[in-house]
Amino acid sequence: MGILVCVALFLLVTITVSIFGYMQYVRPARLLDQLATTTSDAIPVRLTLAERKPKRGFSLSGLLQPIGNLLPVSSQDAANVKRELIAAGIRSNSAVTALYGSKILLAAVFLLTAIVLRDHMPSPMLRIIGPIGSAGMGYSLPSFILGRMVSRRREQIRFSLPDVLDLLVVCSEAGCGLDQSIVNVSRELKSVHPPVADELALLNMEIMAGKSRAEALRNFGRRTGEDEVKKLVAILVQTDRFGTSVSEALRTQSDFLRIRRRQEAEERAGKVGVKLVFPIFFFCLPSLLVVTAGPGMLQLFHNLFPAMANMGQ
Protein backbone atom coordinates (compact mmCIF):
# COMPACT_ATOMS: atom_id res chain seq x y z
CA MET A 1 0.00 0.00 0.00
CA GLY A 2 2.81 2.41 0.85
CA ILE A 3 4.50 1.78 -2.50
CA LEU A 4 1.26 2.52 -4.37
CA VAL A 5 0.83 5.79 -2.47
CA CYS A 6 4.41 6.85 -3.25
CA VAL A 7 4.00 5.98 -6.93
CA ALA A 8 0.70 7.87 -7.13
CA LEU A 9 2.18 10.96 -5.47
CA PHE A 10 5.22 10.80 -7.75
CA LEU A 11 3.02 10.62 -10.85
CA LEU A 12 0.86 13.47 -9.56
CA VAL A 13 3.84 15.75 -8.95
CA THR A 14 5.42 14.82 -12.30
CA ILE A 15 2.26 15.50 -14.30
CA THR A 16 1.60 18.78 -12.47
CA VAL A 17 5.13 20.05 -13.05
CA SER A 18 5.02 18.96 -16.71
CA ILE A 19 1.72 20.73 -17.37
CA PHE A 20 2.90 23.89 -15.63
CA GLY A 21 6.14 23.85 -17.63
CA TYR A 22 4.24 23.41 -20.85
CA MET A 23 1.80 26.23 -20.09
CA GLN A 24 4.50 28.58 -18.87
CA TYR A 25 7.58 28.01 -21.05
CA VAL A 26 6.68 26.09 -24.20
CA ARG A 27 5.34 28.75 -26.52
CA PRO A 28 5.17 28.89 -30.29
CA ALA A 29 7.13 32.13 -30.36
CA ARG A 30 9.67 31.42 -33.11
CA LEU A 31 7.79 33.48 -35.66
CA LEU A 32 7.36 36.32 -33.18
CA ASP A 33 11.09 36.26 -32.36
CA GLN A 34 11.90 36.52 -36.06
CA LEU A 35 9.42 39.33 -36.49
CA ALA A 36 10.83 41.32 -33.58
CA THR A 37 14.17 41.62 -35.38
CA THR A 38 12.68 42.79 -38.67
CA THR A 39 11.29 46.09 -39.84
CA SER A 40 7.81 46.76 -41.16
CA ASP A 41 8.98 46.66 -44.76
CA ALA A 42 11.08 43.52 -44.44
CA ILE A 43 10.14 40.29 -46.20
CA PRO A 44 9.94 37.25 -43.92
CA VAL A 45 12.61 34.66 -44.59
CA ARG A 46 11.24 31.37 -45.91
CA LEU A 47 11.74 28.30 -43.84
CA THR A 48 14.26 25.81 -45.06
CA LEU A 49 13.37 22.22 -45.79
CA ALA A 50 14.87 21.07 -42.51
CA GLU A 51 12.77 23.55 -40.53
CA ARG A 52 9.61 22.53 -42.36
CA LYS A 53 9.94 18.89 -41.33
CA PRO A 54 8.00 18.14 -38.16
CA LYS A 55 10.13 17.25 -35.17
CA ARG A 56 9.69 13.72 -33.95
CA GLY A 57 9.98 12.60 -30.38
CA PHE A 58 8.10 12.78 -27.12
CA SER A 59 5.76 15.71 -26.79
CA LEU A 60 3.46 16.47 -23.90
CA SER A 61 1.00 18.11 -26.26
CA GLY A 62 0.95 15.01 -28.45
CA LEU A 63 0.24 12.89 -25.37
CA LEU A 64 -2.61 15.09 -24.12
CA GLN A 65 -4.29 15.77 -27.47
CA PRO A 66 -5.86 12.29 -27.95
CA ILE A 67 -7.11 12.41 -24.37
CA GLY A 68 -8.60 15.86 -24.86
CA ASN A 69 -10.40 14.78 -28.03
CA LEU A 70 -12.37 12.25 -25.98
CA LEU A 71 -14.17 15.06 -24.14
CA PRO A 72 -17.16 16.57 -25.99
CA VAL A 73 -16.79 20.36 -25.88
CA SER A 74 -19.08 22.94 -27.45
CA SER A 75 -17.66 25.50 -29.85
CA GLN A 76 -18.50 28.34 -27.45
CA ASP A 77 -16.57 26.74 -24.57
CA ALA A 78 -13.63 25.99 -26.88
CA ALA A 79 -13.63 29.62 -28.08
CA ASN A 80 -13.63 30.90 -24.48
CA VAL A 81 -10.77 28.58 -23.53
CA LYS A 82 -8.82 29.62 -26.61
CA ARG A 83 -9.31 33.27 -25.69
CA GLU A 84 -7.93 32.62 -22.21
CA LEU A 85 -4.97 30.70 -23.65
CA ILE A 86 -4.18 33.59 -25.98
CA ALA A 87 -4.40 36.00 -23.04
CA ALA A 88 -1.89 33.77 -21.24
CA GLY A 89 0.48 33.89 -24.23
CA ILE A 90 -0.22 30.37 -25.52
CA ARG A 91 -1.15 30.43 -29.20
CA SER A 92 -0.66 26.83 -30.26
CA ASN A 93 -3.47 25.23 -32.26
CA SER A 94 -3.34 22.16 -30.04
CA ALA A 95 -3.45 24.08 -26.77
CA VAL A 96 -7.23 23.73 -26.31
CA THR A 97 -7.29 19.96 -26.67
CA ALA A 98 -4.12 19.69 -24.58
CA LEU A 99 -5.77 21.66 -21.80
CA TYR A 100 -8.83 19.41 -21.80
CA GLY A 101 -6.54 16.39 -21.94
CA SER A 102 -4.71 17.63 -18.85
CA LYS A 103 -8.08 18.08 -17.12
CA ILE A 104 -9.07 14.48 -17.82
CA LEU A 105 -5.65 13.11 -16.89
CA LEU A 106 -5.42 15.01 -13.61
CA ALA A 107 -8.99 14.07 -12.72
CA ALA A 108 -8.13 10.40 -13.25
CA VAL A 109 -4.91 10.66 -11.23
CA PHE A 110 -6.62 12.45 -8.35
CA LEU A 111 -9.47 9.92 -8.43
CA LEU A 112 -7.12 6.94 -8.31
CA THR A 113 -5.12 8.52 -5.51
CA ALA A 114 -8.27 9.13 -3.48
CA ILE A 115 -9.43 5.54 -4.07
CA VAL A 116 -6.07 4.20 -2.89
CA LEU A 117 -6.19 6.37 0.24
CA ARG A 118 -9.88 5.78 0.90
CA ASP A 119 -9.27 3.12 3.56
CA HIS A 120 -7.28 5.63 5.63
CA MET A 121 -10.10 8.18 5.77
CA PRO A 122 -11.73 8.53 9.19
CA SER A 123 -15.43 8.57 8.29
CA PRO A 124 -17.58 6.71 5.73
CA MET A 125 -18.88 10.00 4.38
CA LEU A 126 -15.36 11.11 3.48
CA ARG A 127 -14.76 7.78 1.76
CA ILE A 128 -17.67 8.59 -0.58
CA ILE A 129 -17.09 12.33 -1.03
CA GLY A 130 -13.29 12.13 -1.14
CA PRO A 131 -12.89 10.48 -4.58
CA ILE A 132 -15.58 12.71 -6.13
CA GLY A 133 -14.05 15.89 -4.69
CA SER A 134 -10.56 14.81 -5.69
CA ALA A 135 -11.66 14.18 -9.27
CA GLY A 136 -13.34 17.60 -9.41
CA MET A 137 -10.23 19.21 -7.96
CA GLY A 138 -8.01 17.57 -10.56
CA TYR A 139 -10.38 18.61 -13.35
CA SER A 140 -10.43 22.26 -12.25
CA LEU A 141 -6.71 22.54 -11.46
CA PRO A 142 -5.58 23.35 -15.05
CA SER A 143 -8.22 26.09 -15.31
CA PHE A 144 -7.03 27.55 -12.02
CA ILE A 145 -3.41 27.55 -13.18
CA LEU A 146 -4.45 29.10 -16.50
CA GLY A 147 -6.33 31.85 -14.69
CA ARG A 148 -3.29 32.64 -12.57
CA MET A 149 -1.12 32.76 -15.68
CA VAL A 150 -3.53 35.17 -17.37
CA SER A 151 -3.63 37.44 -14.32
CA ARG A 152 0.14 37.48 -13.98
CA ARG A 153 0.69 38.19 -17.67
CA ARG A 154 -1.82 41.03 -17.62
CA GLU A 155 -0.09 42.48 -14.60
CA GLN A 156 3.27 42.26 -16.37
CA ILE A 157 1.84 44.03 -19.41
CA ARG A 158 0.26 46.72 -17.25
CA PHE A 159 3.50 47.40 -15.40
CA SER A 160 5.48 47.57 -18.65
CA LEU A 161 3.15 50.04 -20.40
CA PRO A 162 4.89 53.23 -19.12
CA ASP A 163 8.21 52.06 -20.60
CA VAL A 164 6.46 51.17 -23.86
CA LEU A 165 4.85 54.60 -24.06
CA ASP A 166 8.12 56.39 -23.32
CA LEU A 167 9.91 54.50 -26.09
CA LEU A 168 7.03 55.19 -28.47
CA VAL A 169 7.30 58.89 -27.67
CA VAL A 170 11.07 58.84 -28.30
CA CYS A 171 10.64 57.03 -31.61
CA SER A 172 7.82 59.35 -32.71
CA GLU A 173 9.81 62.46 -31.87
CA ALA A 174 12.81 60.99 -33.72
CA GLY A 175 10.76 60.96 -36.93
CA CYS A 176 9.59 57.33 -37.07
CA GLY A 177 6.07 56.42 -38.02
CA LEU A 178 3.80 54.56 -35.64
CA ASP A 179 4.38 51.18 -37.33
CA GLN A 180 8.14 51.55 -37.28
CA SER A 181 7.98 52.78 -33.67
CA ILE A 182 6.06 49.65 -32.67
CA VAL A 183 8.71 47.45 -34.32
CA ASN A 184 11.53 49.29 -32.57
CA VAL A 185 9.82 49.08 -29.19
CA SER A 186 9.13 45.35 -29.57
CA ARG A 187 12.79 44.77 -30.43
CA GLU A 188 14.21 46.90 -27.62
CA LEU A 189 11.91 45.55 -24.89
CA LYS A 190 12.21 41.92 -25.87
CA SER A 191 14.64 41.07 -23.08
CA VAL A 192 13.11 43.39 -20.47
CA HIS A 193 9.36 42.94 -20.97
CA PRO A 194 8.82 39.80 -23.10
CA PRO A 195 4.98 39.66 -22.87
CA VAL A 196 4.35 43.15 -24.23
CA ALA A 197 7.15 42.73 -26.78
CA ASP A 198 5.48 39.58 -28.13
CA GLU A 199 2.11 41.33 -28.33
CA LEU A 200 3.60 44.32 -30.16
CA ALA A 201 5.39 42.01 -32.58
CA LEU A 202 2.12 40.22 -33.28
CA LEU A 203 0.44 43.60 -33.76
CA ASN A 204 3.03 44.54 -36.36
CA MET A 205 2.62 41.15 -38.05
CA GLU A 206 -1.13 41.75 -38.43
CA ILE A 207 -0.47 45.16 -39.97
CA MET A 208 2.01 43.59 -42.39
CA ALA A 209 -0.59 40.93 -43.26
CA GLY A 210 -2.93 43.62 -44.57
CA LYS A 211 -5.18 44.52 -41.66
CA SER A 212 -5.89 48.15 -40.99
CA ARG A 213 -4.04 49.76 -38.14
CA ALA A 214 -7.23 50.40 -36.16
CA GLU A 215 -8.35 46.77 -36.48
CA ALA A 216 -4.92 45.46 -35.49
CA LEU A 217 -4.86 47.74 -32.47
CA ARG A 218 -8.31 46.58 -31.38
CA ASN A 219 -7.18 42.96 -31.71
CA PHE A 220 -4.21 43.86 -29.52
CA GLY A 221 -6.57 45.11 -26.83
CA ARG A 222 -8.85 42.06 -27.11
CA ARG A 223 -5.95 39.60 -26.92
CA THR A 224 -4.53 41.00 -23.72
CA GLY A 225 -7.83 41.85 -22.03
CA GLU A 226 -6.08 44.53 -19.98
CA ASP A 227 -8.07 47.73 -19.37
CA GLU A 228 -5.03 50.00 -19.65
CA VAL A 229 -4.14 48.46 -23.01
CA LYS A 230 -7.69 49.08 -24.23
CA LYS A 231 -7.36 52.74 -23.18
CA LEU A 232 -4.08 52.99 -25.05
CA VAL A 233 -5.66 51.40 -28.12
CA ALA A 234 -8.53 53.91 -27.97
CA ILE A 235 -6.04 56.78 -27.80
CA LEU A 236 -4.00 55.49 -30.73
CA VAL A 237 -7.10 54.87 -32.85
CA GLN A 238 -8.39 58.36 -32.08
CA THR A 239 -5.10 60.05 -32.91
CA ASP A 240 -4.85 58.04 -36.13
CA ARG A 241 -8.40 59.00 -37.14
CA PHE A 242 -8.24 62.72 -36.34
CA GLY A 243 -4.55 63.33 -37.06
CA THR A 244 -3.66 64.70 -33.61
CA SER A 245 -0.22 64.53 -32.02
CA VAL A 246 0.69 60.98 -31.11
CA SER A 247 3.66 61.86 -28.90
CA GLU A 248 1.69 64.27 -26.73
CA ALA A 249 -1.12 61.77 -26.17
CA LEU A 250 1.35 58.99 -25.36
CA ARG A 251 3.28 61.20 -22.93
CA THR A 252 0.07 62.12 -21.11
CA GLN A 253 -1.00 58.48 -20.89
CA SER A 254 2.46 57.48 -19.60
CA ASP A 255 2.31 60.06 -16.81
CA PHE A 256 -1.19 58.89 -15.90
CA LEU A 257 -0.07 55.25 -15.70
CA ARG A 258 2.85 56.11 -13.44
CA ILE A 259 0.63 58.14 -11.14
CA ARG A 260 -1.86 55.29 -10.98
CA ARG A 261 0.89 52.78 -10.23
CA ARG A 262 2.06 54.99 -7.36
CA GLN A 263 -1.50 55.24 -6.05
CA GLU A 264 -1.91 51.47 -6.20
CA ALA A 265 1.33 51.03 -4.25
CA GLU A 266 0.14 53.50 -1.61
CA GLU A 267 -3.21 51.71 -1.41
CA ARG A 268 -1.52 48.35 -0.88
CA ALA A 269 0.76 49.87 1.75
CA GLY A 270 -2.29 51.26 3.54
CA LYS A 271 -3.89 47.80 3.67
CA VAL A 272 -0.85 46.18 5.27
CA GLY A 273 -1.88 47.18 8.79
CA VAL A 274 -5.31 45.61 8.44
CA LYS A 275 -3.93 42.43 6.89
CA LEU A 276 -1.42 42.02 9.74
CA VAL A 277 -4.10 41.99 12.45
CA PHE A 278 -4.90 38.30 12.21
CA PRO A 279 -1.28 37.03 11.92
CA ILE A 280 -0.30 39.18 14.90
CA PHE A 281 -3.31 38.03 16.93
CA PHE A 282 -2.93 34.31 16.21
CA PHE A 283 0.88 33.94 15.98
CA CYS A 284 2.71 36.86 17.59
CA LEU A 285 0.56 37.54 20.66
CA PRO A 286 0.57 33.91 21.96
CA SER A 287 4.37 33.78 21.62
CA LEU A 288 4.72 37.15 23.33
CA LEU A 289 2.38 36.03 26.11
CA VAL A 290 4.38 32.86 26.68
CA VAL A 291 7.68 34.79 26.80
CA THR A 292 6.51 37.62 29.07
CA ALA A 293 3.93 35.98 31.33
CA GLY A 294 5.26 32.42 31.23
CA PRO A 295 7.84 32.69 34.08
CA GLY A 296 5.35 34.50 36.32
CA MET A 297 2.67 31.91 35.68
CA LEU A 298 5.12 29.11 36.46
CA GLN A 299 6.07 30.75 39.77
CA LEU A 300 2.39 31.24 40.55
CA PHE A 301 1.57 27.59 39.98
CA HIS A 302 4.70 26.48 41.84
CA ASN A 303 4.31 28.62 45.00
CA LEU A 304 0.81 30.06 45.35
CA PHE A 305 -1.28 27.00 44.71
CA PRO A 306 0.66 24.73 47.17
CA ALA A 307 0.44 27.50 49.79
CA MET A 308 -3.30 27.79 49.30
CA ALA A 309 -3.64 24.04 49.60
CA ASN A 310 -1.68 24.04 52.88
CA MET A 311 -3.85 26.86 54.23
CA GLY A 312 -6.96 24.85 53.47
CA GLN A 313 -5.63 21.94 55.49
Q: pLDDT (tens digit, 9 = 90+) per residue, 111-132? A: 888 888 877 777 777 777 888 8
Q: Both 232 and 266 in a single domain?
A: yes
Same domain, 82 and 215: no
Domain shared by 71 and 122, yes or no: yes
- Give the list of residues 6+ apart from residue 271 with CB closer than 8 angstroms, or none: none
pLDDT score for 36: 45
**27 plus 127 within the same structural domain:** yes
d(CA 180, CA 175): 10
Q: In this model, does residue 42 exceed pLDDT 60?
A: no
| Number of domains forming the structure of the chain | 2
Higher local confidence (pLDDT), 101 or 11:
101
Are 20 and 106 spatial neighbours (Cβ–Cβ below 8 Å)?
no
* The pLDDT of residue 57 is above 50: no
Q: Average pLDDT, stretch 58-79?
A: 74
Residue 3: the pLDDT is 60
- The CATH number of the domain holding residue 238 is 1.20.81
55 domain residue, yes or no:
no
The model scores a pTM over 0.75: no
Dihedral sign of CA atoms 97, 190, 163, 43 in order: negative
If you average pLDDT over every residue of the chain, what do you get?
A: 77
Checking if the pLDDT of 103 tops 80, the result is yes
Same domain, 174 and 83: no
Per-residue pLDDT tens over the stretch 263-312: 888 888 888 888 888 888 888 888 888 888 888 788 877 777 777 777 76
Same domain, 108 and 252: no
Q: Which domain holds residue 110?
A: 2-38+60-155
User: Is 307 a member of any domain?
Assistant: no
pLDDT of the residue at 10: 65
Domain boundary among 155, 171, 200: 155
Compare 52 and 240 and report the one with higher pLDDT.
Answer: 240
Domain end position, chosen among 124, 155, 186: 155
**Shared domain check, 85 and 149:** yes
Indicate whether 126 and 235 sit together in one domain. Answer: no
Label residue 252 by pLDDT band (50, 70, 90).
confident
Give the CA distances from residue 295 to residues 233, 283, 287, 289, in Å, rounded to whole numbers and listed in that order: 66, 19, 13, 10
Query: 14 and 148 share a domain?
Result: yes
Q: What is the pLDDT of residue 21?
A: 57
Domain boundary among 155, 173, 193: 155
